[in-house]
Every structure is written in structure tokens, then in C-alpha cells.
Structure 1
């Protein structure tokens, strides 16, 4: 078992370790109390989208099913992400700036996404025949879509909170 783990870790490309380092750094930064920046919130999901699409488009045999699965699973992922952020992420307004309170939910979502994507890619590396397996193609795409949806749910919730906190207060 140790040999398998060692082999997988040694065969992992350097860019994957660099990406993990960047994602951890970014996840820690966005988990701290700070002003929200909606445009920067799209950076991490964009990375995961590129990672997922690259594999689906260049190596999977059943692209049409992959795309259907991917886009279908964005919706439940968005709902789950929205509800998670609604439950665990708090905001406040300081003068005219909306501040996100310290919360490690974004870091947790990033790390879970990375781990799942990494394990799926290791599985594909160990068994290249899975690139032609429609079930594996659909599962990989569904997981990729679900993970992107988690990010979109957080962005949507943040946008709604920002909109609500920026509403003018009516004076009687």
C-alpha cells in the first residue's frame, strides 16, 4: 500500500503541486475577514473549470454525455453551495464596504474539490481504459459540474448579500 501511495505521489506532475500550493494560499486568504470582491471570486472556479474541461475535451470518448452531465450537475452544486454559504458565511457593512467575516468554508470547498479531482485523475492515470468508459466519463463530468456549482452558489449568495446590504435604509 505504501508503495502505491509513494508511486502516485512521485508521478504527480510538478504543476499539480504548484496548483495545490496556490489553491491553499488562495483558500486561506479568502477565508479571512476581508472586503468582498466578486470578480476575484471567479478565479478559483475558473481554474477548476479549465482543469475539468481540458480532460473532458481532449481525452474522454463521450464528450456529448460529459457536457450534459457537467452542466446538469452545476445546478444542484449551486444550490448546495448557496445553502452552505448561507449557513456558515456572515457579512457586515463597515461604512460603504461589505466585509466577509472569517470563515474556512471556502478553503474547505477548495481542498475537497482538489482532492476529489486529484483522485479522479489518479484513477484515470492508473486505468487509462476509463477514458473510453461512458460511466467514468459521466461520473467525472458530474463531479466537475457539482464542484463548480459549489463555487457558483457561494458567489451567488455573496452577490445577494452585497445587494441586500447596499440597499438604502428608508427613513420614516
Structure 2
């Protein structure tokens, strides 16, 4: 059995289900349309939960590990925020949804994030001692946090557009 077949056969079914889910989310984002903030929160919540679980399982309460992950999240959040700077976002308070222009960056970003996280997790499963290697550990935590942060930053941009619309409506009513 070649290496690729071994990876595929030892990968839990939930990982394949996650990949399919991420692909469907990425394809859906390529079409402009209305979506709720709750639905937009799923991907950042999913990657945050995966990161929390992974780091807790491998590094426990190591403040250095958590600090690296949070630094990655901070940097990624800024990148994610900037990625949507030209997006058209319009809140529809009547439907409780946010209209957003097509996002062609989401599918490739989801796929790259999945491949990177899968690669790191596979490497750690095959060689648990890598968790203690300083360079590997830093790359794993910074990239994991960075990708998670990108999704958080994009979500925060959506929330800001929603809040800005609420403020604009308040100004129109009182003004």
C-alpha cells in the first residue's frame, strides 16, 4: 500500500465529512446572496474548536503553545479583515440576513487550511515527538492560529457591516 492509501485509510470518517462540508461552504460562497450571521459563524467556530481541541490534547496548559496560537490568530484576524475590505455587504434587518457579494477566496482558503491542518495532524500522529520540536511546534501553532484568525477576521468584518447598518438606521430614525 502506498503512502497516500495509508493516509486515506487511517483518516477518520469525520475528517472526510468535514472536507465535504468545507467544499460545499466554499462553493456556496462563490455566489452572492443573503446569509445569516449565525451561518457565517460556523466556519470560524469550527476551526476555533478544532484548534482548541488539538492544542489542549497535545500541549495542555503550556502558556507558550497557547501564546503562539493566539499570536497566529491575531495576525490572521487582520488578514481576514483586510480580505473583505472591498466586499459589498448590506444588512437586511427585515430578513435578519446580510447580503454579501461573491467570495472567491473562501474555497481555496478552506482547502489550503484543511490540507495544512491535515498535514500537521498526520505528521504528529505518525511521529508524536514532533510536538516537542521547537520549529515544528512554532510552525504548527502559528499556522493553525493564523488560518483560524483569517476566518475570524472575515466574520468580524461581517459583524461590523451588520452593526454599521444598525447605526445607520438609528441615525435615519432620529435624524
* In structure 1, C-alpha distance between the alignment counterparts of 2:43 and 2:90, rounded to whole Å: 23
Q: SS state of the match for residue 125, structure 2?
A: helix
* In structure 2, C-alpha distance between the alignment counterparts of 1:64 and 1:105, rounded to whole Å: 33
Alignment partner, residue 128 of structure 1: 128
Superposed, which structure 2 residues align to 1:106-117 within 5 Å? 106-117=106-117
Alignment partner, residue 54 of structure 1: 53
Deviations 1:2-21 (Å, cap 9, x if unpaired)?
A: 92222222222211111111
Alignment partner, residue 69 of structure 1: 68
Q: Which runs of 5+ in 1 are unaligned?
A: none
- In the TM superposition, residue 95 of structure 1 has moved relative to its aligned partner by 8.5
The TM-score, its normalising length taken from structure 1, stands at: 0.83
* In structure 1, C-alpha distance between the alignment counterparts of 2:135 and 2:110, rounded to whole Å: 25
Q: SS state of the match for residue 32, structure 1?
A: coil
Q: SS state of the match for residue 85, structure 2?
A: helix
Aligned residue pairs total: 170
* In structure 1, C-alpha distance between the alignment counterparts of 2:4 and 2:69, rounded to whole Å: 29
Superposed, which structure 2 residues align to 1:1-172 within 5 Å? 3-60=2-59, 63-87=62-86, 89-92=87-90, 98-166=98-166, 167-168=168-169
- In the TM superposition, residue 61 of structure 1 has moved relative to its aligned partner by 7.0
Cα 1:5–1:26 change in 2 (3 A) is same
Q: SS state of the match for residue 39, structure 1?
A: helix
* In structure 2, C-alpha distance between the alignment counterparts of 1:61 and 1:159, rounded to whole Å: 32
* In structure 1, C-alpha distance between the alignment counterparts of 2:161 and 2:48, rounded to whole Å: 25
Q: SS state of the match for residue 86, structure 1?
A: coil
The TM-score, its normalising length taken from structure 2, stands at: 0.82
Q: Which runs of 5+ in 2 are unaligned?
A: none
- In the TM superposition, residue 31 of structure 1 has moved relative to its aligned partner by 3.5
CA contact (8 A) 1:124 1:130 kept: yes
CA contact (8 A) 2:37 2:98 kept: no
